[in-house]
Amino acid sequence: MNILEVKDLCKTYIINKRQNNVLKNVNFSVSEGEMVAIMGPSGSGKSTLLYTVSGMDTLTAGEVKFCGKDIAKLSEKELAGLRLDEMGFIFQQMHMLKNLTVLDNIILPATQSEKANETRKETVQRGHELMRKLGIIDIADNDINEVSGGQLQRACICRSMINNPKMIFADEPTGALNRTSSDEVMAELAKLNSDGTTIMLVTHDVKVAARCTRVMYIVDGNIKGEYNLNRYENESQMRERERALNNWLMEMGW
């Protein structure tokens, strides 16, 4: 079943009275349980594509359906509710509220959700369970400036999962991390995906993309090609997956 369907998607910005066509008739779908990477050169439209299909930015033309709902036809309130309840978001810059603890940042979306029917104690318990699963339970009561970048990004993953979203959208989730932290964060995302969470992420890192089931390569607002890697099973596959993906990217002009 397709969780995301994109047809003839166009996104245009007007800058200094000049028209900038960032996305041009983009077509693709994402099935439940997939982990899809978007790659391409700088300025190719990667992040714009992610933001537009997730409803964080408006589309200019075409159609985006998320779980069968045409997001362009939703009111602002309906779209905000869809993003809060059915989508999770992870960014390169780990935006968290400085006046809240790590745990309180994680559970904040759950306290805002209308679909949540639980006490604060139950919400906190779910937050603890997610933090335990990602190996960061020991920083639950820390301020966000008291933890490492890798720990903070794993906390962002917990926050993205707190409302049990149907799909996670991630924009360069490892871009601000060193290699060790990047590998740890991607291992956690791969685990979430193996448990059934659908993920779509933007990356420039071949090691990150090699953990995905499929890679889409975008150039000048068009998807130039797709490469199927099948499901990531374990670390022993990584060298071969990276080699195969690198070869394909070179063919694409990477």
Query: Do 171 and 47 contact (CB within 8 A), yes or no?
Result: yes
In eight-state DSSP terms, residue 137 is G
Neighbours of 120 (CB within 10 A): 10
pTM: predicted TM-score of the whole model, two decimal places? 0.93
Q: What is the pLDDT along the chain (254 residues), one digit of tens a residue?
A: 899 999 999 999 887 878 888 999 999 999 999 999 999 998 899 999 999 999 999 999 999 999 999 999 999 999 999 999 999 999 888 789 999 999 999 999 999 987 778 899 999 999 999 999 889 999 999 999 999 988 999 999 999 999 999 999 999 998 888 888 888 888 889 888 988 999 999 999 999 999 999 999 999 999 999 999 988 888 888 999 999 999 999 999 88
Nearest CA among 104, 102, 185, 106 for reference residue 146: 102
- How many domains does the chain contain in total? 1
DSSP class per residue in 62-98? EEEEETTEEGGGS-HHHHHHHHHHHEEEEESS----T
**Which residue type, as a one-letter code, is found at position 24?**
K
What CATH number is given to the structural domain containing 183?
A: 3.40.50.300
Query: Do 56 and 76 contact (CB within 8 A), yes or no?
Result: no
> In terms of residue numbers, what domain contains 46?
2-252
Task: Give the residue ranges of DSSP H helices in the chain.
Answer: 46-53, 76-86, 102-112, 120-133, 149-161, 179-194, 206-209, 238-252
DSSP element (H, E) containing 21: strand 18-31
**Which long-range contacts (C-beta less than 8 Å, at least 24 apart) are formed by 143-147?**
143/98, 143/101, 143/102, 144/96, 144/97, 144/98, 144/100, 144/101, 144/102, 144/105, 145/98, 147/102
